[in-house]
Amino acid sequence: MIWNPNKECMSREQMHALQSKRLQKLVTYVYHNVPFYRNKMQAMDIAPEDIKSIDDIVKLPFTTKQDLRDNYPYGLQAAPPSEIVRVHASSGTTGNPTIVGYTRKDLAVWSEVMARCLTAYGVTRDDTFSVSYGYGLFTGGLGAHYGVENLGATVIPTSTGNTEKHIRLIRDLKISGIACTPSYALYLAETLEKMGLKREDISLRIGAFGAEPWTENMRKEIEARLGLKAYNLYGLSEIMGPGVSYECSEQNGSHISEDHFYPEIINPETLEQLPYGEQGELVFTTLTKEGMPLLRYRTKDLCTLMDGECACGRTSVRMGRIVGRSDDMLIIRGINVFPSQVESVILEMQEFEPQYMLVVDRANNLDTLQVQVEVRCDYFSDDIGRMLELKKRLADRLKSVLSIGADVKLMEPGSIERSQGKGKHVIDKRVLK
Amino acid sequence: MTIKQLSVFLENKTGRINDVTSTLGKHGINMHAFSMAETTDFGILRLIVSDVERAVEVLRAENFAVMLTDVVCIQCDNQAGALSAILEHLSEKDIFIEYMYAFADGAKANVVIRPNNISSCVATIKECNCTILSTFK
């Protein structure tokens, strides 16, 4: 099913024309309402009239997370305070949080794009849907919530926490869909099993997972343990929140609602725009946003963009799986390491629980990487030789994938801290100068 | 003629062995023998207890990775050369011992053996001058 065939299946020519018109309007709007952009554009000697089509976007300045922090709290807001009806804030672990104000129209667009996502996953008015992202300043909870309501399904605002109660609700209310982080989905599966229940005891059929990078193996694991079909849901609070892009039944990339969010891939070093198919940093321009519109916002998410009509009928550009973030990338002994690489190795080996922690440290001026993994109860052996062999097998596999050696530490099941929000997978003890 | 030994996977962490022993103590399960095998980052605690089924249940409830292993427990005289005579027999029959642990008290010594081949180990030991225990008192 397609929620808005008019936009989602628009011809490329029509989309180009629509995006061009919207970009011109946006640039004029921010030029006159956001001093930050006006100053930047003047310094680059660009006027709104220089933007004649969407292809001229490359002339425009970029925006970074640091720009948002520097202009805390409302420096990048374009709409007057009287027009702002809601504010969200990102979880700023360092420095100022990012404040995003939404106008009434922004919220309507958000519910619209979320409904497109849910419809693509197969959610209908007959579904009962649990929104298990955190409600509050984080965009996940409320963003998904209003999308479910807009679609007309029944929303159960479970938020996070109290997982056993949540599972009882899933069973008793016959909840058929759920939105949460993939690591919380695994935690749910674990709790379900701990409560002595089986996937047959619940009727979840659709999962919308996002807010953190995940892998194909993690998808298989979640699907097998919860008995549902798992779809990717992508978004970020700076641009809107969940609903920026979504998988369809083909699951060959995530369709971007590009009538609202214009995507580009750039080389993060040279900042040059890259052609479709090349991997680089994802950049978004909010074509229709009123509250806090952003030009060429650098997401730090690394992926590829794909064009061409999808078998589902949608014509929109798709983004590939996020292969990492420039800011979760670890440099260990000069080698780039993504936690997702370690995750894919661990999920390939059934002897381990799908939980892990990377501990990076520095001993004698040499970086060390320890990978902590939990041995599944069923694979624990009384034979030390077999346990050491298991440890070596994982170490060898990691070495071939990461190109650096890692010290594997076998842990007891359940001993690595479970997170209910974004999974924390790295402890970096190195003192950075 | 074999005894079910309890094996518990443990991280090398101060107090972790006591987490096992206190759980067992709390549920009134007595330990007859135990040994700890350790590597640099984990260890395997092997125990013979009064109620093995219940021990598995209570330890699993506390999230311990637990498994059962068949071992042969024998009692021989506590005197020089007694164990050696038995082990010689086993090696003649090509029975490999993965691990064993023992303690002696008074006139008798108790030995727990984990062989690679349980049935031939039992058969071989039957020919020796010692008792095979099917339970610990």
Quick check: B67 contacting A, CB < 8 Å?
yes
Tell me what pLDDT residue B105 has.
Answer: 82
For residue B6, what are the β-bridge partners?
B47, B68
Reported pTM: 0.67
Based on the fold, state whether residues B82 and B32 are members of the same structural domain.
Answer: no
Based on the fold, state whether residues B60 and B78 are members of the same structural domain.
Answer: no
Decide: residue A81, CB within 10 A, 0-12 exposed, 13-18 middle, 19+ buried.
exposed
Query: Is residue A117 predicted with pLDDT exceeding 50?
Result: yes
Based on the fold, state whether residues B60 and B87 are members of the same structural domain.
Answer: no
Tell me what pLDDT residue A178 has.
Answer: 98
Map residue A119 onto helix, strand or coil: helix
In terms of residue numbers, what domain contains B30? 3-69
Token pair listed for A309: 């009509």
Give the model's confidence band at A432: pLDDT under 50 very low, under 70 low, under 90 confident, else very high.
very low
Question: Which residues have C-beta within 8 Å of that of residue A101, sequence separation ≥ 6?
Answer: A74, A77, A79, A84, A86, A87, A291, A292
Residue A326's Cα: distance from chain center in Å? Answer: 14
- pLDDT by residue (tens digit) across A359-378? 998 776 677 899 999 998 88
DSSP A83: G
Based on the fold, state whether residues B60 and B17 are members of the same structural domain.
Answer: yes
Pick from B11, B39, B63: CB nearest A388: B39
Beta carbon pairs, A and B, within 8 Å: 46
Based on the fold, state whether residues B128 and B95 are members of the same structural domain.
Answer: yes
* CATH code of the domain containing B86: 3.30.2130.10
Query: Is residue A121 predicted with pLDDT exceeding 70?
Result: yes
- pLDDT by residue (tens digit) across A169-201? 999 999 999 999 887 898 899 899 999 999 999
Tell me the C-alpha distance between A264 and A285, whole Å. Answer: 8
Give the model's confidence band at A91: pLDDT under 50 very low, under 70 low, under 90 confident, else very high.
low
Tell me the C-alpha distance between A290 and A60, whole Å. Answer: 18
- pLDDT by residue (tens digit) across A263-320? 999 999 899 999 999 999 999 999 999 999 999 999 988 899 999 999 999 999 999 9
Based on the fold, state whether residues B64 and B80 are members of the same structural domain.
Answer: no
DSSP A201: G
A87 closest CA partner among A233, A261, A237? A237
Q: Which helix (H) or strand (E) holds B118?
A: helix B118-126
Based on the fold, state whether residues B65 and B83 are members of the same structural domain.
Answer: no
Query: Is residue A129 predicted with pLDDT exceeding 90?
Result: yes
**Structural domain ending residue among the three candidates B23, B39, B69:** B69
Give the model's confidence band at B135: pLDDT under 50 very low, under 70 low, under 90 confident, else very high.
confident
Pick from A384, A409, A412: CB nearest B10: A412
Tokens 């599972």 sit on residue: A167
Question: Which residues have C-beta within 8 Å of that of residue A125, sequence separation ≥ 6?
Answer: A151, A152, A153
- pLDDT by residue (tens digit) across A212-225? 767 788 899 899 99
* Structural domains counted in chain B: 2
Query: Is residue A37 predicted with pLDDT exceeding 50?
Result: yes
- pLDDT by residue (tens digit) across A67-79? 998 999 999 999 9
Query: Is residue A354 predicted with pLDDT exceeding 70?
Result: yes
Quick check: B61 contacting A, CB < 8 Å?
no
**Structural domain ending residue among the three candidates B37, B69, B101:** B69
What is the pLDDT averaged over residues A21-27? Answer: 97
Tell me what pLDDT residue A327 has.
Answer: 65
Token pair listed for A310: 């999808």
- pLDDT by residue (tens digit) across B14-71? 889 999 999 999 999 999 988 999 888 899 999 999 999 999 999 999 989 999 999 9
Test A413 with B41 for CB contact under 8 angstroms: no
Tell me what pLDDT residue A417 has.
Answer: 83
What distances in angstroms separate CA A98 from CA A64, A94, A139, one per listed residue? Answer: 11, 11, 12
Residue of A nearest to B59 (CA): A377
Based on the fold, state whether residues B90 and B50 are members of the same structural domain.
Answer: no
What is the pLDDT averaged over residues B80-98? Answer: 92
HSE-up of residue A163 (Cα within 13 Å, Cβ side)? 18
Tell me what pLDDT residue A79 has.
Answer: 97
Tell me what pLDDT residue A94 has.
Answer: 42
What is the pLDDT averaged over residues A106-128? Answer: 98
What is the pLDDT averaged over residues A123-147? Answer: 95
Test A384 with B60 for CB contact under 8 angstroms: no
Tell me what pLDDT residue A433 has.
Answer: 35
Based on the fold, state whether residues B7 and B65 are members of the same structural domain.
Answer: yes
B117 closest CA partner among B99, B95, B133? B95
Test the B interface: residue of A193, A382, A417 with most B CBs within 10 Å: A382
Based on the fold, state whether residues B128 and B75 are members of the same structural domain.
Answer: yes
Tell me the C-alpha distance between A150 and A108, whole Å. Answer: 9
Query: Is residue A232 predicted with pLDDT exceeding 50?
Result: yes
Based on the fold, state whether residues B44 and B83 are members of the same structural domain.
Answer: no
Tell me what pLDDT residue A184 has.
Answer: 85
Test B65 with A380 for CB contact under 8 angstroms: yes
Based on the fold, state whether residues B8 and B46 are members of the same structural domain.
Answer: yes
Pick from A377, A380, A411: CB nearest B11: A411
Tell me what pLDDT residue B129 has.
Answer: 77
What distances in angstroms separate CA B131 from CA A250, B12, B26, B82, B108, one per listed residue? Answer: 68, 36, 32, 12, 10
What is the pLDDT averaged over residues A7-17? Answer: 96
Residue of B nearest to A408 (CA): B41
Average pLDDT across chain A, whole number: 91
Residues found in chain B: 137
